Amino acid sequence: MSWVRACCWAAGAAALGTLLVVITVFRTAVTEDELHSYDYGRRVVFEGRFDRLTEADSAKLPVLALNALPERVAAWLGWRRSAVESLLAPLPLSSPARDYILAHLPIYAGRLVTLVFYLGLCALVFAWGAEVYGPSGTLGATVLAASVPTLLGHSALFSSDAAASCMILAAVYALARCLLDPSVERSVVAGVAGGLALLTKYSATALVPVALTMVVLRTLTAERLEPRARVFHGSLVAVVIAGLVALLVVSAGFAFQHPFTRLTEIACDSSALHGARGLLGGLPLPLPRDFLIGLDRVGSLSGATLPLGGAGEEGSSANPLVASLLRMPLPLFLLLLTRPWRWHRRYTDLVWLTPVAWVGVHLSLSPYSQIGLRSLLPAFPFLALLAAGSWDADRPRRWRQLASVLTVLAVVEAVWGCPRYLWYFGQP
């Protein structure tokens, strides 16, 4: 397969995924969490406020302002209800469904913004795969990532889950390239990506231990001609520069409102920030106050969870590692089991495994974590990249053909499941 054909087929897979997401957008009812997300995003866009009025706003971050932008643009353009009705006319919707959508129009318009992150994730998977595999493997990784039911479902919501998965992938990708050949420019790019990831979801704070682990992996997998001490020093400096840039990006995301915060100024209900306050006292931290308040609230939550299959007041007893295997698309799971492991790409393989391992281990050690599909979502792009090793050129032809058949089955599964990708979905 040529690179031109691989690009065309990958674009086709992303286009099919886009169609499935759009169908899901208009065939599913508004969730309660989307209403809170809309309220928060609208406050940011129209009022420039980042405060959280209710407990439901605890995990909300400025990325939701992007989802609320269509309402502001529509107001600026002077669009009226009749114009929107004409746009909905070609869609195969019943009259009650069309009325429901019109009643919640800002949320449905905001859902379409999430498509940008879905397409961005597909593009990043293709770009990173192209640096490691040939055309067939790169195409396989893109098709697998584009057809993950969990990603398709969350890409159709007014939420930050798909955005977080895209930006976490971007941050790890940028940092992995930076550590291979550290420079100020690459460190800045990695820092910008990391800062944007922190503006999408608080779980992106996992990038801190992931980045440190990547420094160790880069040092241990250094070539013989590379002095490990020099590799370690250069990688560590690159991570520090990226971290400083990320802090600046986070402050910019909050419009530089209260860019320095003393932990003595907030409640510190979470055990992590309470312990940090005991160590740091009144030392000002280079993080916005509203960011730390939200981080504190999220860390202090220990109520109802969203486990796979039900909710419990005291957390889920199911092991998330097992739960993730149960919810993983079967073709992707089989490809991961049969992929070859090559010594020459050990650094990349280990980098892809690091976020996946962090998600599983972190959730297993946190009995009150939200063990839901959205918690597992950031791992799937990395799993798709790992599974693409099944198309290695030196593998027997029958194994590569089997991988292609499994990928087709993954696409069929994605199409067949539209629009009910998530268990809390409903129809308008």
Q: pLDDT by residue (tens digit) across 130-184?
A: 999 999 999 999 999 999 999 999 999 999 999 999 999 999 999 999 999 999 9
If the chain, 428 residues long, is cut into consecutive pieces of 10 residues, what is the mean pLDDT of each piece?
92 96 90 90 90 83 91 72 67 73 84 95 96 94 94 92 95 96 95 96 92 95 88 95 96 92 84 82 87 84 40 40 62 89 91 88 55 77 94 90 93 90 56
3-state helix, strand, coil in the chain (%, to 5): 70, 0, 30
Q: Is the pTM of this model over 0.85?
A: yes
pLDDT in tens, 65-122: 999 988 887 777 666 666 666 766 676 767 777 777 777 888 988 999 999 999 999 9
Domain boundaries, the chain: 3-254+317-417
Q: Give the separation between CA 324 and CA 23, rounded to whole angstroms.
A: 26
Long-range interactions of 130-134: CB distance < 8 A, separation 24+: 130/3, 132/345, 132/348, 132/385, 132/388, 133/388, 133/389, 133/391, 133/392, 134/1, 134/391, 134/393
Tell me phi and psi for residue 389, to 5 degrees: -60, -15
- Within 8 A by CB and 6+ apart from 7, the residues are 126
CA angle 163, 164, 169 (to 5 degrees): 105
Contact 250, 195 (CB under 8 A): yes
How far is C-alpha 32 from the geometric centre of its chain's CA atoms? Answer: 21
DSSP assigned state of 200: T
DSSP assigned state of 283: P
User: How many C-beta atoms lie closer than 10 Å to residue 132's C-beta?
Assistant: 18
- Residue 391: name the closest of 65, 31, 137 by CA: 137
